[in-house]
C-alpha cells in the first residue's frame, strides 16, 4: 500500500495534513512523506520496514509533518531485537511542535522500555516530562519485543493507550487519562537509543495517523524587540507570521522603515530606518496589519525601545518567585527594572547559593534580552505554557531559557552578572512566607508588595492572588500596593486602608501601618489587640524606627491563623531614650470579608 494519499491535497487540504499512512513500501524516507532528522542512521530493509543502522552508541530521530490532533488515532508497529533498558529503548512522538527537540518541545510521546519495563504515555512541556498513563509492568521485559501501539485522543483531551503483542487477539487497554496541556500538533516522530552493539536492532512499520487539525485561535505574542545600532530594529514573535500586508511606524520622527528582512523561520523580522537612533530617547514602534499564518491578529501592536545603558547595583531586583510549580505550569522568577534606564540583561545569571555560601552554576539569561524602565520580565523554561496557565495579558513580558529546579521549601536566589562577582539582588525565600489561607503552596507565587520594599523581609512579600491563578509573571503584581510619599499631616500613625480583607483575592489583602517620627532615635512597639483588649499579635518589639516608614499586617495572629472578621485595635507606641519623648496611639482596624 502506498503512503500518504497526496492526490487529496487539491480537494481536501485538511485531510492531507491530518492524515499520515506510511508502510515504507516505496523504499525511501526522503519523500511522500518527507522524513527529516538523522537519516543516515535509518534504512528501509528488504521487508520494507524502517530499520536502525547506527554504527556507534547513539540517539537517532526522524520527524515528518503531522497536524492530526482532534479526534485522532496514532498506530505503529515497533520491534526491538533486545530486552529494552535505560540505554536501549524506543519512542514514538505522537505530537510535537518542532523537529529539533534537543532543547525541549511541547507534545506527547509513547516510551517503549526503559525503567520500568513498560509502555507508557508522556506529556512534555518544554523540558518537563510527565508520565500520564503508566504501562503494564514487564510488558516489554522480554528478549525480543514486537508489538503494535495504538493511542486515541477524543473529545476534550481524553487519551487511551493500547498495545497488542503477536499473541494477543486484540489490542489490550493500558490506561486512560485526560490532558489538555498541549493545544496542537506539527510533527510525528520516531526515536531509538542504542548501545554500540545494538545499532541495527530497532524496527518501525505500518504507521497510521488520522485526525483533524486543531484550529489555531490563539493570537500570537510579540516576544522581543531589540535595537542594533545605528539604525536597525529586530522583532521576534511566538508564531510564524504573515508579513505580506504589515506596515510599521516609529515615533521620534523616524517614520517607516526603508527595508524589512524576514527571518527564515518567519518568526522574526529586521527593520532598517533611514536615520540613526539617538541616546536618551525612547522610541515607540507600532505595527499595523500583522497576523500569524492562521490569520490571528497580533494583540499587542506597539512596543518601546531605546539605546542601552549600563546596569548598576540597585537597578534591577527580584520581584516575584514561583518556586513550586502547579501541575500544568512551570516555575519562574520575575525581574523588575526599578531604574529609569533601558537595560540589557543578556548574559546575567540567576542562580542559588550552596550550603557553604558559594554559588551554583545557575542559568544564563538569553542574548538580546532588554527591559524598559519600570518594567517587568519573567523567566521560565517555556513562556507559552506559563503565559497560558496564568492567562497573562498580552503586554506581559515573559521569555524562555534554560532552567534549574528551585527548592520547594526555601533557598537563596541570586541575580548576578556573568562573572558572579556583582550581585544585583538576593532573596532567601521560605514557603512559610505564604499567606495563612494558602494550605498548599504548590502553584502559588510569592510577590513583592512594592519594589521599594527591602528584598530580605518577609513582610515585603505576599502570596499571589487566587484571581490571577496565583501568579502574575511579566506584569504588575496582584498584591502590588502603591506607597506614596508622606504628605504633611498632624498624624504620626495611620492605617491604609483602615478596613482590609486578608482573603488573598488581590484586593486590600494587606494593611499598611504608616508612621512618621519628629526626629531620629525613636524605638517602636506595635501590638494588635481584639475588641476585648487581648493581644493577638506583637507586630513589632523595640524596633528602631526610620524618620518615616511603615509596617504591614496580613491578618495573621500570633499563632499563624487568620484573624476572624471584626474590629481590632492597633496600639502603636514610640519613644526616644535620648530626649525622653514618648508617644502612643490606639486606633481601630477592621478585618472584613468580601
Residues of the chain with CATH 2.60.40.1220: 222-306, 493-591
3-state helix, strand, coil in the chain (%, to 5): 5, 45, 50
The burial class, CB within 10 Å (0-12 / 13-18 / 19+), for 484 is: exposed
pLDDT band, residue 579 (cuts 50/70/90):
confident
Task: Report the alpha-carbon distance of residue 19 to residue 3 in Å, rounded.
Answer: 10
Nearest in space to 348 (alpha carbons), one of 319, 320, 312, 307: 312
Look up the CATH architecture of domain 6-213: Sandwich (2.60)
Whole-structure pTM value:
0.52
Which tens digit of pLDDT belongs to each residue from 324-349? 999 889 999 999 999 988 899 999 99
Rounded-to-integer distance, Cα 534 and Cα 473, Å: 41
Residues of the chain with CATH 2.60.40.1260: 316-468
pLDDT at residue number 435: 75
Percent of the chain topping pLDDT 90: 64
Antiparallel, parallel or unpaired: β 582-591 and 499-500? parallel
pLDDT the model gives residue 489: 60
In whole numbers, what is the pLDDT of the chain averaged over residues?
A: 89
- With contact defined as beta carbons under 8 Å apart, do 226 and 234 qualify? yes
Contacts for 229 with CB less than 8 Å, ≥ 6 apart? 276, 277, 307
394 upstream amide cis, omega within 30 of 0: no
The answer on pLDDT for 15 being more than 60 is no
User: By three-state DSSP, how is residue 456 classified?
Assistant: coil
pLDDT tier at 467, thresholds 50, 70, 90: confident
Question: Taking 50 as the threshold, does the pLDDT of residue 5 lie above it?
Answer: no
Residue 11 has pLDDT above 80, yes or no: no
The residue-averaged pLDDT of 501-520 equals 83
Residue 254 has pLDDT above 60, yes or no: yes
CA atoms within 13 A on the CB side of 74: 25
Region 423-444: mean pLDDT is 89
Residue 7 has pLDDT above 60, yes or no: no
Give the architecture-level CATH label for domain 316-468.
Sandwich (2.60)
Which pLDDT does position 428 carry in this prediction? 97
The CATH fold assigned to 493-591 is Immunoglobulin-like (2.60.40)
Place of cell 504573515: 242
Residues 82 and 202: beta-carbon distance below 8 Å: no
Helix (H, G, I), strand (E, B) or coil at 40: helix
Contact 389, 445 (CB under 8 A): no
On the question of pLDDT at 13 being above 90, the answer is: no
Task: Summarize pLDDT for 174-221 with one digit per residue, the tens.
Answer: 999 999 999 899 999 999 999 999 999 999 999 999 999 998 888 998
Taking domain 222-306, whether its CATH number is 2.60.40.1220 is answered by yes
Statement: residue 413 has pLDDT above 60: yes
In this structure, are residues 285 and 303 in contact, taking their beta carbons and an 8 Å threshold? yes
Give the containing element (helix H, strand E) for 336.
strand 332-337
**What values do phi and psi take at 464, rounded to 5?**
-65, 155
User: Strand, coil or helix: what is 569?
Assistant: strand
What are residue 496's DSSP bridge partners? 512
pLDDT band, very low/low/confident/very high, at 484 (cuts 50, 70, 90): low
Residues 6 or more apart in contact with residue 144 via CB below 8 angstroms: 79, 80, 81, 82
CATH 2.60.120.200 spans which residues of the chain?
A: 6-213
Amino acid at each position: 500500500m502506498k503512503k500518504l494519499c497526496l492526490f487529496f491535497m487539491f480537494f481536501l487540504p485538511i485531510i492531507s495534513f491530518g492524515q499520515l499512512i506510511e508502510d515504507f513500501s516505496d523504499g525511501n524516507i526522503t519523500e511522500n512523506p518527507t522524513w527529516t532528522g538523522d537519516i543516515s542512521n535509518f534504512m528501509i530493509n528488504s521487508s520494507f520496514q524502517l530499520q536502525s543502522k547506527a554504527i556507534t552508541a547513539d540517539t537517532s530521530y526522524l520527524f515528518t509533518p503531522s497536524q492530526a490532533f482532534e479526534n485522532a488515532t496514532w498506530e505503529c508497529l515497533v520491534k526491538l531485537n533486545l530486552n529494552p533498558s535505560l540505554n536501549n529503548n524506543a519512542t514514538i512522538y505522537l505530537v510535537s511542535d518542532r523537529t529539533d527537540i534537543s532543547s525541549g518541545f511541547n507534545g506527547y510521546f509513547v516510551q517503549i522500555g526503559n525503567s520500568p519495563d513498560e509502555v507508557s504515555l508522556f506529556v512534555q512541556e518544554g523540558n518537563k516530562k510527565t508520565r500520564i498513563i503508566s504501562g503494564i509492568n514487564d510488558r516489554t521485559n522480554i528478549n525480543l519485543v514486537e508489538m503494535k501501539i495504538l493511542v486515541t485522543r477524543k473529545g476534550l483531551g481524553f487519551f487511551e493507550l493500547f498495545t497488542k503483542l503477536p499473541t494477543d487477539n486484540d489490542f489490550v487497554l493500558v490506561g486512560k487519562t485526560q490532558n489538555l496541556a498541549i493545544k496542537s500538533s506539527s510533527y510525528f516522530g520516531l526515536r531509538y537509543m542504542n548501545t554500540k552493539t545494538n545499532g541495527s536492532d530497532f524496527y518501525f512499520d505500518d504507521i497510521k495517523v488520522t485526525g483533524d487539525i486543531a484550529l489555531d485561535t490563539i493570537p500570537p505574542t510579540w516576544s522581543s524587540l531589540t535595537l542594533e545600532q545605528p539604525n536597525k530594529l529586530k522583532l521576534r514573535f511566538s508564531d510564524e507570521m504573515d508579513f505580506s500586508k504589515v506596515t510599521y511606524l516609529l515615533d521620534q520622527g523616524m517614520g517607516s522603515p526603508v527595508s524589512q528582512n524576514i527571518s527564515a523561520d518567519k518568526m522574526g523580522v529586521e527593520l532598517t530606518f533611514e536615520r540613526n537612533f539617538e541616546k536618551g530617547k525612547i522610541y515607540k514602534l507600532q505595527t499595523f496589519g500583522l497576523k500569524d499564518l492562521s490569520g490571528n491578529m497580533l494583540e499587542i501592536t506597539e512596543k518601546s525601545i531605546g539605546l542601552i545603558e549600563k546596569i548598576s547595583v540597585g537597578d534591577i531586583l527580584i520581584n516575584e518567585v514561583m518556586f513550586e510549580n502547579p501541575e500544568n505550569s512551570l516555575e519562574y522568577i520575575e525581574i523588575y527594572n526599578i531604574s529609569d534606564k533601558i537595560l540589557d540583561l543578556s548574559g546575567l545569571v540567576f542562580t542559588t547559593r550552596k550550603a557553604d555560601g558559594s554559588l551554583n552554576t545557575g542559568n544564563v539569561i538569553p542574548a538580546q534580552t532588554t527591559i524598559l524602565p519600570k518594567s517587568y520580565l519573567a523567566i521560565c523554561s517555556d513562556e507559552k505554557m506559563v503565559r497560558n496557565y496564568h492567562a497573562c495579558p498580552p503586554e506581559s513580558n515573559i521569555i524562555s531559557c534554560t532552567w534549574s529546579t528551585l527548592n520547594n521549601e526555601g533557598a537563596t536566589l541570586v541575580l548576578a552578572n556573568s562573572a558572579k562577582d556583582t550581585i544585583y539582588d538576593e532573596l532567601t525565600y521560605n514557603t512559610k512566607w505564604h499567606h495563612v489561607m494558602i494550605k498548599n503552596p504548590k502553584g502559588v507565587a510569592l510577590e513583592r508588595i512594592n519594589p521599594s520594599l527591602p528584598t530580605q523581609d518577609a513582610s515585603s512579600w505576599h502570596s499571589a492572588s487566587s484571581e490571577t491563578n496565583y501568579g502574575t509573571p511579566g506584569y504588575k503584581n496582584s498584591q502590588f500596593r502603591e506607597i506614596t510619599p508622606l504628605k504633611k499631616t498632624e498624624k504620626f500613625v495611620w492605617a491604609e486602608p483602615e478596613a482590609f480583607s486578608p482573603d488573598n483575592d488581590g484586593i486590600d489583602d494587606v494593611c499598611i501601618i504608616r508612621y512618621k517620627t519628629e526626629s531620629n532615635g525613636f524605638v517602636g512597639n506595635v501590638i494588635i489587640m481584639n475588641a476585648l483588649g487581648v493581644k493577638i499579635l506583637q507586630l513589632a518589639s523595640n524596633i528602631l524606627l526610620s524618620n518615616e516608614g511603615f509596617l504591614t499586617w496580613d491578618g495573621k495572629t500570633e499563632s499563624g491563623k487568620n484573624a476572624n472578621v471584626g474590629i481590632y485595635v492597633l496600639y502603636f507606641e514610640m519613644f526616644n531614650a535620648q530626649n525622653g519623648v514618648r508617644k502612643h496611639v490606639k486606633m481601630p482596624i477592621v478585618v472584613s470579608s468580601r
